[in-house]
Structures are given as structure tokens and as C-alpha cells.
Chains A and B, each alone.
Chain A
Amino acid sequence: MNKYIKITLSISAVILLAVFVKYRIIEPRRPHLEASDIIKYFSFSKESCLKEWEEKILKGRVVYRLEKEGDDGAYVTAKSDNAASALYYRINLDIGKHPIIGWKWRVISFPEKSLPESIDNKKEEDFAARIYVIFPAAFFTGSKIIEYIWAEELEEGMSGTSGYSKNIKVMVLKKGPKPGWEYEQRDVYDDYVKLFGAKPSLNVGAIAFMTDSDSTSTEASCLYDDIKIGYKKGG
């Protein structure tokens, strides 16, 4: 084969691959919870998966339901119309063993805000997607919470304290619209130390996820899938 044809074909293949990856026609393999001990895995392939989660209603009811994807895949869609309710799962995790939480998510639409987005603004405290890690104390006023959010305007990696309580720390994992699924994996122990500035003394007691749009009285939508909970290798 002509040398120039080979070069042209190679370049075309690379460009094609880049386009496929860019538009998620081919999903790149990403590290997704390489935990040695996966304690709980929610693939959301069966309707019964959602029944394990308690619904916690704050205002109105966000519609959480399973959507089928292909033959065996499925995910949770969350649609909020001026509502705020979460799905809550109680699980006891030994913080000393470095709990790892992994999931994938995809924001479809963000709540519309009139003010610049901020972590501690209680007036428009809506996010298209958030995952809670809850550390319950003997009395709830001492409980600590880590909240991973997908924001529209806040920079990725940004963190801060919620306007509601100094015990709620918020970390921005994703910013703005993305074309496809985004994968996350968090070492809860490390994030706690980073956010609270001290080693955790409480175990994890629950995790939750929520899409809300009640403060802005608008709509928001997100997809959640593959929630995995486990411990770090050698943790």
C-alpha cells in the first residue's frame, strides 16, 4: 500500500476515534470503583432497586423512576418541577476503612437561577444533581454531611460550607452541561479531611441523591446510575 495512503488512513482513524470519544459514540474506559470490597452496588436494572431507597420529601415530589437502556441496562431519571425530594439509603460504613463511593450521572437540565450561582446562597439553593454522604451523630445537630454537586456555573473542584449549616460541606464535581455520562469515584475519608479540616470521628450512616428546583421554582432533570459503595483497597 502506498505510504501516503497509509498515513492518510491512520490520521483519519485517529480523527474518527477522537470524534467518537468527544460525542460519546465510544465511551472511554474510566476507572470506576476499584474497591476490593464492594458492599453495595445499585445497577438499577430492576424496579426493586429503587424500593431499597427511602423517599425524603422536602417540598413537592421529584419524580424518580427507572428508564431502560438497551437490553439489560437501566438508570434512574430524576425530574423536578418546583420540587425537592431525595432518595435516601441507610448503610453503615466504617470511616477508618476509607469508604469509596462511585456513581455515574448525567444532567439533562439545570434549574434556572436569577442570581449568580453560589454554594451558600439559600435563596436559590437548587442543583440539578447532588449526592449526599451523611455521618450521623448521637444527636442530629452534631451530624456531618458531605455533598457532591453538579453545578451549572461553579468551578469544578470548588468547595465550601452550605448556607444552612456549618456541618454541611459542599464540593463541586462537575460544572455545566456535558454531552454524556460522567463517572465519579470518591474516597470519603480523604474528602472529609479536606472539607472539614479534621479526621472524621463519625461513621457513614447513609447516602442520598437529590435533584431539586424548589427554591428557583423552575425545572431540573438528571440521570443517576451505577452507585457503588465499598472500601478502598488496603483501607
Chain B
Amino acid sequence: MRLNIFVSNKTQLRYLLLIIIAMLAPTVIVGSFLYYFIFTLTANQIGVPEAIAYTLFPVIEKINSMVIMVTIPLFLLLLLWGLILSHRFCGPLKRVERDLDRIIAGDGSVRLNVRKDDDIRGVVEKINKVIDILEKGKK
């Protein structure tokens, strides 16, 4: 497990936002539609104003307070999950970029290195092979 979960580059921020929006948007849209339609249809079905006030108003109040209570921890959880996912993609990229900078600077002994479970491992291995071929060509 990497300790530095936020590698602080624009790519990670963009992915982080994308992940959070992708998770939040459907939840908010579907939740809002359900909230609105369930209560509106129920109120229409009940019809009698006193009955609506007596039965639905307390339910609405309870649900609203529950939504408020759940929203903050849920958002924090989504943020953490987004950070982990975006770091999983952007962390290795940052590392590859750093190693490539060293190779460009003339250090031919450097090879790109990523962790075993990183998604771009296959691409990195192929780039390392290309570097090997180029190094052999030089000699």
C-alpha cells in the first residue's frame, strides 16, 4: 500500500473528479427522482390534506434528517474511494514519467518500474524491452 495517496498532479485531480461525479450523479439523480415520485404519487393517492399532513409530513422530516446525516460520511467515503482509484491509475504514470525523464537525461541503466498489480504493467514491460533494444543498438 502506497502511503502517499495523492500524487498531486492535474491528471489525478481530473480522474478524481470524474470518479466522484460518476458515482454521485446517478445516485443523486435516481435518488431525487425516487424521493420526488414516491412522495408525490403517495400524496396524490392519499388526497385528503389532513391525512397527507398526518402521515407523510413526519416521514419526509425523518427521511430529510437521515439524508443529511448520511450525506457527509457518504461523500467522505466516495472521496476516499475516488482517491484510491485515481491513485491506482495516476501513481504509476507519475513514476513512469519520472523514470523516462532520467533515461532522457542520459541514464541508460534506468528501467521503468511499476508494481505487480498496476494496470499499466504490460505496457511498461514492453517499453523496457524497447529501451533494451535501443541500448543494445547503441553498443
Using CB atoms and an 8 Å cutoff, list the residues of chain A in contact with chain B: 54, 56, 58, 84-86, 88, 125, 132, 134, 139-141, 143, 145, 147, 162, 164-165, 167-168, 206, 208, 210
Q: B39 interface residue, CB < 8 Å from A? A: yes
Q: Is the pair A132, B60 in contact by a Cβ cutoff of 8 Å?
A: no
Cβ-defined contact, B52 with A140, below 8 A: yes
Tell me whether B54 and A164 are in contact (CB under 8 A).
yes
- Residues of chain A with a CB closer than 8 A to B45's CB: 56
> Which residues of A have CB within 8 Å of B51?
56, 58, 84
Q: Which residue of A lies closest to B42 (CB)?
A: A140
User: Which of these, A139, A143, A167, A208, contacts B48 with CB under 8 Å?
Assistant: A208
Tell me the complex Cα distance, A210–B51, Å: 12
List 29 contacting pairs A-B, 8 Å CB cutoff, sorted by A. Answer: A54-B47, A56-B46, A56-B48, A56-B51, A58-B46, A58-B48, A58-B50, A84-B51, A85-B48, A86-B47, A88-B48, A125-B50, A134-B49, A139-B39, A140-B39, A140-B52, A140-B56, A141-B57, A162-B49, A162-B50, A162-B53, A164-B49, A164-B50, A165-B49, A165-B57, A167-B49, A167-B53, A168-B50, A208-B47
Does B100 make an interface contact (CB < 8 A)?
no
Complex Cα spacing A164 to B53, Å: 6
Query: Does B40 lie within 8 Å of A56, measured CB to CB?
Result: no
Q: A58, A84, A140, A164: which contacts B43 (Cβ < 8 A)?
A: A140
A147 and B48 alpha carbons, distance in the complex (Å): 11
Residues of B within 8 A of A (CB): 36, 39-40, 43-54, 56-57, 60
A157 to B40, CA, bound (A): 33
Interface on chain A toward B: helix, strand, loop, or mixed SS? Answer: strand
Q: Is the interface of B mostly helix, strand, loop or mixed?
A: helix
In contact, B47 and A140 (Cβ under 8 angstroms)? no
Closest A residue to B56 using CB positions: A140
Question: From A86, which residue of chain B is reached at the shortest CB distance?
Answer: B48
Q: Which residue of B lies closest to A145 (CB)?
A: B49
**Are A88 and B47 neighbours in the complex by a CB distance under 8 Å?**
yes
**The residue from A54, A85, A132, A139 contacting B49, defined by CB atoms under 8 A apart:** A132
Q: Which residues of A contact B60 (CB under 8 A)?
A: 141
How many angstroms from the CA of A165 to the CA of B53 in the assembled complex?
Answer: 6
- Complex Cα spacing A162 to B54, Å: 11
Using Cβ atoms and an 8 Å threshold, which residues of chain A touch B54? 164
Most chain B beta-carbon neighbours within 10 Å: one of A54, A88, A141, A147: A141
- In the assembly, what is the distance between CA of A208 and CA of B51, in Å? 13
| CB contact under 8 A between A84 and B48, given known A139-B36, A140-B39, A140-B40 | yes
CA distance A116 to B54 in the complex (A): 22
Minimum C-beta distance from B56 to chain A (A): 7
User: 9 extra interchain contacts, Cβ-Cβ under 8 A, other than A56-B51, A58-B48, A162-B50?
Assistant: A56-B47, A58-B46, A88-B47, A145-B49, A165-B53, A167-B53, A168-B50, A168-B53, A208-B47
B134 to chain A: closest CB distance in Å?
Answer: 66
| Residues in B neighbouring A54, C-beta threshold 8 A | 47
Chain B residues, CB < 8 A from A88: 47-48
Residues of B within 8 A of A132 (CB): 48-49
